[in-house]
Amino acid sequence: DQQVKQNSPSLSVQEGRISILNCDYTNSMFDYFLWYKKYPAEGPTFLISISSIKDKNEDGRFTVFLNKSAKHLSLHIVPSQPGDSAVYFCAASVSSGTYKYIFGTGTRLKVLA
């Protein structure tokens, strides 16, 4: 049972344009969401997070949007740069106990120069 899904395994975007990565979840108890970026043979790097009390959080070129009613979140990268090419994972957790994360399956972003 995949509680967190990223339905697009890959995405190609032209440099300078907007990249939009999507993530859907099924567990309504999730109240904290994160996006991580991962290069091959490296661990994930934290990008941005959002609590369920918000619907938007922005940090530089990265913005995360949360639609609780649709159980959907998205990551916007503007403008996209070639160095953004990586695999992006969304993760969700419940704010109690161990705060363990459930990860999505990842979306490979390729930013074309």
Partner 1 sequence: GAVVSQHPSRVICKSGTSVKIECRSLDFQATTMFWYRQFPKKSLMLMATSNEGSKATYEQGVEKDKFLINHASLTLSTLTVTSAHPEDSSFYICSASTAFGNQPQHFGDGTRLSIL
Q: Tell how far CA 111 is from the center of its chain.
A: 16
Task: Kindly state whether residue 89 participates in binding partner 1, applying the rule CB under 8 A.
Answer: yes
Nearer CB in complex with partner 1: 100/113: 100
Nearest to 74 by CA among 113, 112, 30, 18: 18
**Smallest gap, in angstroms, from Cβ of residue 51 to partner 1?**
6
Distance, in Å, from the CA atom of 68 to the CA atom of 60, rounded to the nearest integer, reads 23
Of 63, 80, 85, 93, the residue at the interface with partner 1 (CB under 8 A) is 93
Q: Interface residues for partner 1 in 21-80 (CB under 8 A)?
A: 32, 34, 36, 41-46, 49, 51
